């Protein structure tokens, strides 16, 4: 949870009981505000439709430099910029957890590998010395902007697709550098969609297979 580092002295007039009531009211207000932000964020997430896909190497030899293209009907895909952003009271907790990766991508198990080629980005540097100086504390707006930028950067790293569009399709492309034989791997993320498409097309090109592998996945809404 984000908190400001301002330490201003407060002075109240009234009895000890009145002061205590005031403090309880302020605490209740903060708790209600925090609850509403949690509710708003997670309700928006809950409304998102997600499709989970994997890519599999069913051959007897490894493959590498695998280019994957996914084509969805126009208007179906939710852009990263349109995904929900947490409010001020919870965004730091979200950033410091593994939540968005757990929510938006497949998790490794005994049968399926995690996607292995997310971009490597430098760790976030925070100037503690600057913010510890008296009278030079950041505002709530600056604190929130800093955490929001971290959140959006993490989303863009996770949704590491190249994205294109034509008159019929929204197109996502990504690369897998190496996929062992008889191995399955998740896509970088679930596909987040506005509405359920009747089909999704795909093309796969790789270093050791001369032909383009293409196909169409038919989708039944009762399976989502």
Q: What is the pLDDT of residue 7?
A: 44
Q: Which residues of the chain have pLDDT under 70?
A: 1-12, 122-137, 221-224
This prediction has a pTM of: 0.80
d(CA 86, CA 148): 8
d(CA 59, CA 50): 29
Q: In this predicted model, what pLDDT tens digit does every residue of 157-171 receive, in sequence order?
A: 999 999 999 999 999
Q: What is the pLDDT of residue 200?
A: 95
d(CA 206, CA 50): 27
Q: What is the pLDDT of residue 52?
A: 92
Q: What is the pLDDT of residue 4?
A: 47
d(CA 52, CA 60): 25
Q: What is the pLDDT of residue 184?
A: 96
Q: What is the pLDDT of residue 130?
A: 47
DSSP structural state of residue 115: P
Strands 112-113 and 183-186 turn out to be parallel
Tokens read off for 211: 């032909």
Contact status, residue 179 vs residue 159, Cβ threshold 8 Å: no
Contact status, residue 206 vs residue 67, Cβ threshold 8 Å: yes
Contact status, residue 64 vs residue 207, Cβ threshold 8 Å: yes
């Amino acid at each position: 949870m984000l908190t400001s580092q301002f330490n201003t002295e407060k002075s109240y007039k009234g009895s000890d009981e009145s002061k205590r009531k005031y403090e309880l009211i302020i605490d209740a207000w903060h708790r209600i505000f925090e609850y509403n932000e949690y509710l708003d964020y997670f309700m928006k997430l809950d409304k998102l439709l997600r499709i989970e896909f994997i890519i599999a190497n069913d051959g007897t030899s490894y493959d590498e430099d695998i280019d994957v293209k996914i084509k969805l009907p126009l208007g179906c895909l939710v852009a990263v910029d349109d995904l929900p952003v947490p409010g001020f009271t919870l965004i730091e907790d979200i950033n410091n957890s593994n939540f968005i990766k757990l929510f938006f991508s497949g998790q490794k198990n005994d049968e399926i590998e995690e996607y292995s080629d997310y971009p490597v980005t430098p760790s976030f540097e925070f100037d503690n010395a600057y913010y510890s100086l008296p009278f030079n504390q950041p505002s709530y707006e600056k604190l929130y902007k800093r955490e929001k930028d971290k959140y959006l950067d993490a989303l863009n790293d996770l949704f590491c697709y190249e994205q294109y569009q034509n008159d019929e399709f929204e197109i996502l492309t990504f690369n897998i550098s190496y996929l062992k034989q008889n191995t399955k791997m998740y896509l970088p993320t679930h596909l987040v969609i506005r509405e359920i498409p009747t089909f999704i097309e795909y093309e796969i090109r790789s270093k050791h297979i001369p032909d383009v592998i293409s196909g169409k996945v038919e989708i039944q809404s009762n399976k989502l």
